[in-house]
Amino acid sequence: MLPHARHFAHTRPASQLDTRFQPEIDAALGVPRRIHIIGTGSVGKLVAHSLSSIMDPPPITLIFHKPSLMEAWREAGERIKLTTAGVTEAMGGFDAELAMPNRREHGKEIEFESDPMRTFVPDMKDSHLVTPDGTTAPRGQGADSMEPITNLIVTTKAPATVSAISAIKHRLSSSSTICFLQNGMGVIDEVNRDLFPDEATRPNYMQGIITHGVYSPSPFSATHAGMGTLQLSLLPRSPLTWDSGAAAPPSDDPDHELGPLQSSVWALSSRYLLRTITRSPALCAVGLAPTDLLCAQLEKLAINCLINPMTALLDVRNGALLYNFHFTRVMRLLLSEISLVIRSLPELQGVPNLDARFETSRLETMAVAVADKTRENISSMLADTRRGLHTEIRKARLAQLRQQNAGAQAGSGGEGSQEDSQRAREAEARQAILSQILLPEAADRLGRIRMVKESRAVDMENRLIMLARSGQLRQKVTEEQLKDLLGAVSEQEEKQQEKIVVQRRGGWDDDDDLLDL
């Protein structure tokens, strides 16, 4: 038996399970219509509820990772409740499965039968399974499901993605499509490395960015607090060729949303899943080219890197960041650094209007708009912190930076220009930070000092930036304050110089004493 195969259980009666192995086929593309959703957090519930609300909805299967969720699902009446603008709507008709991933210790996966934390109870007539949380999982008909999964949507937390997909890895094939709707970046690299190292047999991938504001008051209910969008892109299995000379497809072409990209490179399941998700009015989904999605991902990542950690550290709702001057200054300093990092990525070199799109002021405008729109929301990182769970802070780091050195080394003939561009961006980011620290007259004085003695001006700038990052500057520095700081630094340097001279003289006296001996 394959790993994990015995971990599945369906909530439907046995008499209804036989029809599951005769999948309903999409007439246009000839692929199974059933969509599996793994991850039943706030985003997972929103997606499942929205897809079940469209005309001629696809069959939907929810995949749970522990038996307690299956019990909670039954207690909830096997329905998902979504509250929007004070109106609650409950949707049913979902199937459910239990897919428990194997534990991982010291980087190695422990097989189910050898895991001491999961044992079989002797003399079980109904073949139930004891699990780590003390509940039992049924293992009757349907528990050994080998039904292929063609369309999979993953909405789990980024750190749990590899573990969650490992439980159903044997049901995925090269004709399957996985759609990742998560925060952070670099998850697909980990999935390929740990689960699908062979490019020929790995599934097809879609990636999405969801900006809807949604939170979960209970396991199977969600509140849609803020309307947003869902941006999707199909990720190619191999480098794409853009046929710029191809004629535009007719408006009635079902593949017109793919644009001039050769539609033959996309798997049928990918095209079906993209069409189905974009049919939902509640999700406001739209398809993008891969590069456009990467830029949109980085925009959201910049906002998440700002709002999530600050609300988690301060234990406040999103809106609290808007009404404190000190928070605003920290936000601007962080965004200046984030802007520099993003614009230095080799993957984005050549993208039109890159500097304008990721300018600090534009990122600040977007972050303020999101914080205001979701002012009453609790960020996901704060929610995880309050519950004592692992946060997505590691996934929020730019995974593409690991490729930056490789990208720079791969280029030939342009290393000098890349270094010049990098230095120019660093200088621009430095000036952006200083503009948030100094009043105009203080900045002018520092500029005059630079003309006379550049090293002294650079040293003063470094000191000011360090004071700002440590939170010791509570307001912008005036020209008088800059003069006082320059005087204090000069006095300190003079004392240090005198101390060095005294020490040297003391050393010479000691040498003379030794010679006298």
Q: Give 399-421 as a DSSP string.
A: GGGGGHHHHHHH--S-HHHHHHH
* Structural domain includes residue 273: yes
Nearest to 321 by CA among 300, 307, 337: 307
Nearest to 76 by CA among 91, 54, 55, 58: 91
> CA 434 to CA 437: how far, in whole Å?
5
> What local confidence, expressed as pLDDT, does residue 36 receive?
96
> What local confidence, expressed as pLDDT, does residue 450 receive?
78
Rounded mean pLDDT, 113-130: 40
Does residue 220 carry a pLDDT above 90?
yes
> What local confidence, expressed as pLDDT, does residue 106 receive?
57
Comparison of pLDDT for 222 and 485, the residue scoring more: 222
Please write the tens of the pLDDT for every residue from 191-203: 999 899 998 899 9
Please write the tens of the pLDDT for every residue from 245-284: 444 444 444 444 444 444 446 889 999 999 999 999 999 9
Q: What range defines the domain where residue 319 resides?
A: 295-405+417-437
Looking at the fold, whether 271 and 341 belong to one and the same domain comes out as no
Looking at the fold, whether 150 and 273 belong to one and the same domain comes out as yes
* Structural domain includes residue 391: yes
Looking at the fold, whether 75 and 199 belong to one and the same domain comes out as yes
Looking at the fold, whether 351 and 423 belong to one and the same domain comes out as yes
Name residue 296's amino acid. A
Domain count across the chain: 2
Rounded mean pLDDT, 444-458: 80
Task: Check which CATH number belongs to the domain holding 424 and give it.
Answer: 1.10.1040.10
Side-chain half-sphere CA neighbours of 159 within 13 A: 12
Rounded mean pLDDT, 331-355: 86
Q: What percent of the chain has pLDDT over 90?
A: 27
Comparison of pLDDT for 93 and 438, the residue scoring more: 93
> What local confidence, expressed as pLDDT, does residue 422 receive?
62
Looking at the fold, whether 263 and 138 belong to one and the same domain comes out as yes
Q: How high does pLDDT run on average in the chain?
A: 76
Looking at the fold, whether 192 and 333 belong to one and the same domain comes out as no
* Structural domain includes residue 10: yes
* Structural domain includes residue 95: yes
Does residue 243 carry a pLDDT above 50?
no
Looking at the fold, whether 35 and 103 belong to one and the same domain comes out as yes
* Structural domain includes residue 471: no
Does residue 359 carry a pLDDT above 80?
yes
Nearest to 331 by CA among 356, 314, 349, 355: 314
Looking at the fold, whether 278 and 306 belong to one and the same domain comes out as no
Looking at the fold, whether 78 and 141 belong to one and the same domain comes out as yes
Looking at the fold, whether 275 and 400 belong to one and the same domain comes out as no
> What local confidence, expressed as pLDDT, does residue 218 receive?
87
Task: Check which CATH number belongs to the domain holding 61 and give it.
Answer: 3.40.50.720
Per-residue burial over 103-123, b if 16 or more Cβ lie within 10 Å, else e, is eeeeeeeeebeeeeebeeeee
* Structural domain includes residue 464: no
Comparison of pLDDT for 416 and 351, the residue scoring more: 351
> pTM for this structure?
0.65
> What local confidence, expressed as pLDDT, does residue 284 receive?
93
Rounded mean pLDDT, 370-397: 77
